[in-house]
Structure 1
Amino acid sequence: MAGLDKRVGSYAEALEGITDGMTVLAGGFGLCGIPENLIAEIRRRAVKNLTVVSNNCGVDGFGLGLLLETRQIKKVIASYVGENALFEQQVISGELEAELTPQGTLAEKLRAGGAGIPAFYTATGYGTPVAEGKEVRDFDGRPYILEQALRGDFAIVKGWKADWYGNVIYRHTAQNFNPLMACAGRITVVEVEEIVPPGELDPAAIHTPGIYVDRLIQGHFEKRIEQRTLRT
């Protein structure tokens, strides 16, 4: 990688520097738009005691669920975990710490982290276990709780197309959490289906500007369907 060219030649190079105990932000929603090859590389590297921030934690046997199998995750910050039986087992047994966060709050915590905002107030979660231990203030007669922003050592992101400079376009609903994660990582790694020369992407179509991207790699994807329903 030289200058503005963000391309790397291997997944090993893409995740160079990831070590035990780091916080990893993982894009995707369910299995839609997940950085599946970067997750596989984390598993191959066998780094452990990771804190993973993601909307959910994959499913049994795929996505972030692969890292649960190898006990590489010590804590998950997520908004939904209902598709993963192994996740449930590890939480109940005490192997895994889970911090459940309302989905909109999780998105705003990441957006704030990327924008350099340390914390914000929200009414969401007041009067529930979500608010336990958090500062409460009244604004216009309504109570709000203080939520701290989220940042990560690495952000792993799945895009559709990118140019050499790391300008990324996401396809349809695969946009989900990916742009938020990309902005909130100290090192942001993006894998995409196609890399094109600079100038081939419409500037108005860019979702994540290259200024947020540190490393870029082209991959091949299984794109597994989370819930397949067929007509009888």
Structure 2
Amino acid sequence: MKHKLQQLLYFGREQALSCLFPVVIFASLAATKFIPLPFLARYDWLFIICLAMQWWMLRAGLETKDELKVITLFHLIGLALEIFKVHMGSWAYPEEGFFKVFGVPLYSGFMYASVASYLCQAWRRLHVELVNWPSMLAVVPLAAAIYFNFFWHHFWIDVRWWLGLLVIIVFWRASVNYKVNGIDYRMPIVLSFVLIGFFIWIAENIATFFGAWQYPNQTHAWSLVHLGKISSWLLLVIVSFLIVAELKRVKGTSQ
């Protein structure tokens, strides 16, 4: 029991270190909500803080240049999704800001980038290896379909549940190996998707409470984010994981 507790604490420490970027974002959201900063709007300060944090992590060696490229890609993917969703009225950023594009503050892309940062950090710290990973011919189209469903369901049917079923079928045999303090563990990929998606839903509730963005039902007062959003975050986590996994796999085979 003592050894299991030690392993759990070590695993928790590695997870906490992997979450450094997201933690800074949440801390900044909380601080800027209650402590007004001079000269610039809140959204602008959040953008500057995220940029500074990204620069510091690279200079301190907490992130590699390759990881920075992945995180930048996620920033752009996330920003494109944010612009579309805000335009469609799914949520809003009601506060003023100079660093806004089509009503979306640029700091919002860092919230997606922070998910990529966590995945990259955890991948390296826990020595993640993929087992029975399906072919790229299955992974890439599936990831693309999941991402574009966030757009096309506004004009056509929402096929998220069919995509979720496809994920289970494609990744049924796949699992992830990871090390905790030198000891190997294994987890089914589908279970890891669900766990990460659930914790991001919890983080979303914290973020909306501190005014990171606002859903229509939160216009007058904050309320819990609908449980249905877990499916959205689950699919977004799957896209994030698949992109990171494929980039890691391609880089590994090219070395």
TM-score range for the pair, normalised by the shorter chain length? under 0.3
What's the TM-score once normalised by structure 2's chain length? Answer: 0.23
Query: When you count helix as a share of all residues, which structure comes out higher?
Result: 2
Q: Which has the higher strand share?
A: 1
How does the TM-score come out when normalised to structure 1? 0.24
